[in-house]
């Protein structure tokens, strides 16, 4: 395994622990939750192999599930995002394409691009997560409120982290 692989492996555990030890206990107004762990999948380098992406997504989601007692729920939503991620990246390729080995950061592609990239995928993740958890649409508007509230919360943290971490050298 090369250096970037090990770095990503450490990041995997960092995201997981942050999620299950800290963010699991946070709920704003009882409706907004933070599922920051999904950023790990979204921020992997652009040319990551789709199979590897999905496998990482499954392992991450499954690990989160163990702590949330929600077998398969987070894994389901995360694998979906991991699968669609590369297609979405191709769809919104900026003029001139991505540089080879480019990272997914605000620094590399600008804030506007970053938001266009992350918001729909995080929204989809939360949409699937909350509706599968509610097992139906009986509480439709309340569930929608939770989804939008969590989307805003998660996005805030994801963008904040983009500005907190110094632009990394290419791995």
Partner 1 sequence: MERLINFIYEYRAFFTFLFLELLCAWLVVENNQYQSTQYFNSSNRVSAQLLGFSQGVREYFSLRTINEDLARENAELRRDLERTRIQLTEATTDTTRINQFDFVSAKVMANSTHLYKNFITINKGKADGLYPGMAVIGDAGAVGKVKSVSDRYAVVISLLNVDEQVSGMIKRTNHFGTVRWNGIDQRYTTLQFIPRHATPVKGDTVVTSGYNAVFPEGIMIGIVTEVNLKSEAPFWDIEIELSQDFGRLAFVEVIKSKLKSEKDSLEKVTTGERR
Site track 111-150 with partner 1 (rule: CB under 8 A), x = hit: ---------------------xxxx---x--x--------
Per-residue DSSP letters for 12-63? HHHHHHIIIIIGGG-EETTTEE--TTHHHHHTS-TT--HHHHHHHHHHHHHH
How many Å apart are CA 17 and CA 4, to the nearest integer?
A: 20
- Binds partner 1 by CB under 8 A, chosen from 61, 117, 154, 162: 61
Site track 77-116 with partner 1 (rule: CB under 8 A), x = hit: --xx--x---------------------------------
How many Å apart are CA 155 and CA 119, to the nearest integer?
A: 7
Q: Which stretch binds partner 1 (CB under 8 A): 34-42, 58-66, 105-113, 151-159?
A: 58-66
- Binds partner 1 by CB under 8 A, chosen from 76, 114, 117, 153: 76
């Amino acid at each position: 395994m090369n250096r970037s692989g090990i770095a990503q492996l450490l990041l995997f555990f960092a995201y997981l622990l942050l999620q299950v030890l800290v963010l699991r206990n946070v709920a704003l107004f009882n409706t907004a939750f933070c599922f920051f762990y999904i950023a790990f999948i979204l921020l992997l380098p652009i040319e990551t192999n789709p199979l590897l992406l999905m496998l990482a997504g499954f392992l991450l989601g499954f690990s989160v599930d163990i702590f949330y007692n929600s077998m398969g729920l987070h894994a389901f939503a995360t694998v979906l995002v991991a699968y669609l991620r590369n297609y979405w990246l191709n769809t919104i390729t900026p003029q001139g394409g991505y540089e080879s080995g480019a990272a997914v950061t605000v620094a590399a592609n600008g804030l506007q691009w970053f938001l266009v990239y992350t918001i729909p995928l995080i929204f989809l993740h939360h949409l699937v997560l909350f509706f599968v958890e509610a097992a139906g649409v009986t509480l439709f508007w309340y569930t929608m409120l939770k989804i939008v509230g969590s989307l805003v919360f998660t996005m805030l943290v994801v963008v904040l982290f983009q500005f907190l971490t110094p632009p990394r050298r290419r791995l």
